[in-house]
Amino acid sequence: AGTLLQNSMSRNQSLFERAQRTIPGGVNSPVRAFRSVGGTPRFIERAEGPYFWDADGQRYIDYIGSWGPMIVGHLHPEVLEAVQRSLTSGFSFGAPTEAEIEIAEEICRLVPSIEQVRLVSSGTEATMSALRLARGFTGRSRIVKFEGCYHGHADSLLVKAGSGLLTFGNPTSAGVPPEVARETTVLEYNNVGQLREFFASLGDETAAVIIEPIAGNMNLVRATTEFLDVLRELCTAHGTILIFDEVMSGFRVALGGAQALFGITPDLTCLGKVIGGGMPAAAFGGRRDVMAMLAPLGAVYQAGTLSGNPVAVAAGLATLRIISRPGFHDDLSRRTERLVAGLVEAARAAGVPFAADSIGGMFGLYFAERIPKSFAEVTQSDIPRFNAFFHKMLDAGVYFAPSAYEAGFVSSAHDDAVLDETVARARAAFSATAS
């Protein structure tokens, strides 16, 4: 009977069971475990264009794109060729290369607020290093983040608002020392009054404010222009470093990122995802006088064995060159808008309360009447209905993010046929979830 059961089990299921023996929870990053939607994670074997295939041979239209990096689709021939060429010259040197200069020049050209840039290997490293730099530059300790924004898993950033409203944050993870969390204040996204109140009392002792100017980690939520304008003004007035975390929005909502859309110049910017084209690369950069504080020039230490890895830089450069071509983002926006409009119409036809939003190649789906403006509003959406929709779509070969708190991503490989197929599948899924 045991053998029979074994044979009838899908490969995804048996791989998941095997994975859990040697990997905590069976995954190397928690959201992959499907905990919030339930069910068995799919183990991916290969990907191409807008698709990937799991261990049972099922094909999916992929709307997570490795959580953002795969903006030109999987296995794009130009990126593949650049990676293959780089690989035959060696994997890692621990010494500088010309390609690192090229990607730095490209980043500074595409994001003009970045006068100098340092490469790292993950978004977490980028935000963690940017915070240390801001603290070193200002000689202050306190930092501010906003509820619902995610900036990676450095201690100072795994913090939620404490009961002392404007002052002390509390850890959101065991292992984060309370004294570290206390240096982080968590404010509400898009709450201008609270922001002013905070700066009036603690602005002068605040090293940095870090924000996702277009948030993609509480589903998709846009900052308002007023909120970002006030934030920029207050940071300038109080000598506080404004850090835009554009790890997700960078190169994705527009070629110059959210800062280009809003016309706001941050002091520092964090980048990741797209700049590695699917390989581990990320970066932080900005004002020349601030970046001059970094080792080896200045007193703020920061380093990395694999920083500027030649293979990752080759993938990133090839990706940046493709997305820099005229019309790339207009076309990407049009595709994303087509998807979102189709889904909204399909939900309406099925009588399901639903709203959706998109900016560039990023979208948000909300099982709610309106597009949310804060984390609190996102939590009020119909999460059980999202979960049911997610599974119906998964069974139909469409892979959305396995959580109602994540944004989705369209690539330039998602053509109209793929988008329309998605909408057709969604019609049936919405109908099945309508009560």
Binding-site member from 26, 50, 152, 308 for ligand PLP (CB under 6 A)? 152
Residues 6+ apart with CB under 8 A from 393: 399, 400, 425, 426, 429
| Of 329, 270, 253, 303, nearest in space to 107 by CA | 270
Q: Which stretch binds ligand PLP (CB under 6 A): 148-156, 316-324, 337-345, 385-393?
A: 148-156
At residue 63, φ and ψ (nearest 5 deg) are -110, 20
Rounded-to-integer distance, Cα 290 and Cα 118, Å: 12
Handedness of CA 131, 132, 133, 137 (dihedral sign): positive
Residues 6+ apart with CB under 8 A from 13: 40
- Which residues are catalytic, by number? 150, 245, 273
Q: Does 151 bind ligand PLP (CB under 6 A)?
A: yes
* 46 sits in which H/E element: strand 44-48
Q: Does 212 bind ligand PLP (CB under 6 A)?
A: yes
Q: Which is nearer to ligand PLP, 122 or 374 (CB)?
A: 122
Amino acid of residue 367: F
8 A C-beta contact, residue 393 and residue 426: yes
8 A C-beta contact, residue 241 and residue 268: yes
The site map against ligand PLP for 262-301 (x = CB under 6 A) is: ----------x---------x-------------------
Q: Which is nearer to ligand PLP, 266 or 342 (CB)?
A: 266
Tokens (6 digits) for 261: 């859309």
Q: Which is nearer to ligand PLP, 312 or 426 (CB)?
A: 312
> Considering the complex, what minimum distance in angstroms separates the CB of residue 146 from ligand PLP?
11
Q: Which is nearer to ligand PLP, 294 or 407 (CB)?
A: 407
Binding-site member from 113, 217, 309, 381 for ligand PLP (CB under 6 A)? 217
> Considering the complex, what minimum distance in angstroms separates the CB of residue 14 from ligand PLP?
28
Q: Does 189 bind ligand PLP (CB under 6 A)?
A: no
Q: Describe the chain by its helix, strand, coil percentages, rounded to 5.
A: 45, 20, 40
> Considering the complex, what minimum distance in angstroms separates the CB of residue 279 from ligand PLP?
11
Q: Which stretch binds ligand PLP (CB under 6 A): 118-126, 307-315, 319-327, 426-434?
A: 118-126
Contacts with ligand PLP, residue ranges (CB under 6 A): 67, 122-124, 127, 150-152, 212, 216-217, 245, 247-248, 272, 282
